[in-house]
Amino acid sequence: MHLVVIGLNHHTAPIELREKLSISEARISEALAALKALGVAECLILSTCNRTEVYACTSTRSDDAAIIECIGEVCGVRPEVFIPHLYSHAGHKAVLHLFRVASGIDSMVIGEAQILGQVKDAYAAAGGLGYTGPVLNSVFRQAIVVGKRARTETDIGRGAFSVGSAAVQLARSIFEDLKGRTVLMVGAGKMSELAITHLVSCGTSTLLVANRTHERASSLVSRFGGQAIPFDDLPSALGSADIVIASTGAERPVITGDLVLSAMRVRRGRPMFFIDIAVPRDVAPEVESIDNVFVYNIDDLQAAVDADAGNRQAEVAKIEAMIGQELEQCMRWFRTLDAVPVVTALRDKFEEIRSTEMDKLSRKMPELTPEQLEAIDAATRSIVNRICHNPMIRIKEFAAGSDSSDKIETICDVFGITPDGDTEEKREGG
């Protein structure tokens, strides 16, 4: 069995090309059928916005060119356009590549969680249509395990991935639980939507929107739920807001120290978290010095994201080591596949001898009753099974070891068998 991965990703190809070669969910089955028509035993397509990869398993050395041509045809792109951007890995390198992809260390944003889901989906899609077999099933199941291990055993998935999630994590360091918290949006800029999406998904209960133009406020309210309030009600709204996202286009700070001080009196000192996305700033500098008030602007949040990205980068080495172990395990299993034709050939050989002898016997001794023949048949089967048992176990063990070819060759020699490597054909022929 030969496993190969051919594809391109953000490391090798520009976005325009990746877009052209991305295969939408609806067209995956069509593409898989086209690949299958090339004569591959198993195939799977992983297509995300940053990568398009074909995993194929063939009984003989695969024909990369045919697969490449097939991708080009499905996507309507001439192969010479994208061939320079392709990578192709075979055997254990293909498995290594898949493990790195599934664990998120090959992603554009290292450690992002989406890719593992995309790997699962791609596997489910191909598996559901019956395009995967023993090799891809085993390799992909293990890749999903590797992806999960990477996320649970290392900190690759921790920290903020975006400004919005950085804001949520900071909010969590102030308020334990974001459920039931009130968020006030002052101004309704595009950037503030990013933050609000994250906060709302964390269960903040009340959203107040104060914007100078009412339409924009009500459009946000209709999308996220909440309440649009007149801009002049800002002082009273501050008193009930735990988290304030400011993004007005005002020239001067709209949230002054005095406003916040009086809000803090109403709040009886409960903490406030300001996220100032506006340029120039909406929150006056003196607000930062008020006790229990925390002000973060867009640069601070970006710095938090960058710091976390640095931490995640440091986790990559741990994951590479983990992948090394998993790869070894996978390759051991992979090598036992080499034993399959030998074992089948051995079994067939013994069975052939047995059935020939049984025929001879029944011809020589026609007086045997059907019951007696059946008993002899069962006994000889049992003999064959018992003779085969140990050699078969040993053959599988030899195959799992790294220098197996000599031993297996000797076994073939001793028993006079010639495994031709394609069990399917042999079975059909017999």
Partner 1 sequence: MLLSIALAFYCAAAVLYIRGLFAGSVRAFQVAAWSMAPGLCAHIAGIGAIGIQHQRPPFVNLFESLSFTSAVLVGLYLLTARKHRIGGLGLFVCSIAVLMLALGLILPRDVNLILLRHMENPWSTVHILACLVSYSALILAFGAASGYILQEHLLKTKRLNALRKHLPSLDVMDHLGYKMVSLGFTMLTLGIITGSLWAATAWGSYWHWDSKETWSLITWLVYAVYLHVRIVRGWRGKWANRLLLAGFMCIIITYFGVTFAASSLHGHTY
Strand 87-90 to 206-210 pairing? unpaired
Q: How far is the CB of 115 from partner 1 (least distance, A)?
A: 21
- Which residues lie below 8 Å from residue 117, measured CB to CB, with a gap of 6+? none
Dist CA 180 CA 200 (whole Å): 10
* Residue 303 is a binding residue for partner 1 (CB under 8 A): yes
Q: Which CB, 312 or 396, lies closer to partner 1? A: 312
Where b means 16+ CB within 10 Å and e means fewer, 119-150 reads: bbebbebbbeeebbeebbebbbebbbebbebb
Catalytic entry in 43, 49, 75, 388: 49
Q: Which CB, 71 or 170, lies closer to partner 1? A: 170
Coil, strand, or helix at residue 58?
A: strand
* Residue 274 is a binding residue for partner 1 (CB under 8 A): no
> Six-digit token pair at 150?
């990477």
Coil, strand, or helix at residue 291?
A: coil
* Residue 430 is a binding residue for partner 1 (CB under 8 A): no
Contacting partner 1 (CB under 8 A), which of 1, 174, 309, 337? 174
Q: Which CB, 56 or 287, lies closer to partner 1? A: 287
Contacting partner 1 (CB under 8 A), which of 123, 140, 296, 350? 296
Contacting partner 1 (CB under 8 A), which of 16, 61, 252, 269? 269
Q: How far is the CB of 119 from partner 1 (least distance, A)?
A: 24
Site size with partner 1, rule: CB under 8 A? 26
* Residue 377 is a binding residue for partner 1 (CB under 8 A): no
* Residue 158 is a binding residue for partner 1 (CB under 8 A): yes
Among positions 125-154, residues that touch partner 1 (CB under 8 A) are 153
Contacting partner 1 (CB under 8 A), which of 271, 351, 354, 376? 271
Contacting partner 1 (CB under 8 A), which of 63, 300, 320, 351? 300
Dist CA 14 CA 8 (whole Å): 10
Q: How far is the CB of 189 from partner 1 (least distance, A)?
A: 22
CA 223 vs CA 183, 199, 227: distances in Å = 15, 14, 11
Q: Which parts of 99-172 are beta strand (E)?
A: none
Q: Is the CB of residue 59 less than 8 Å from the CB of residue 5?
A: no
Q: How far is the CB of 303 from partner 1 (least distance, A)?
A: 6
Dist CA 187 CA 165 (whole Å): 20
Q: Is 49 considered catalytic here?
A: yes
Dist CA 103 CA 318 (whole Å): 11
Q: Which residues bind partner 1 (CB under 8 A)?
A: 153, 155, 158-159, 169-170, 172-177, 268-271, 288, 291-292, 294, 296, 300, 303-304, 307, 311
> Known catalytic residues?
49
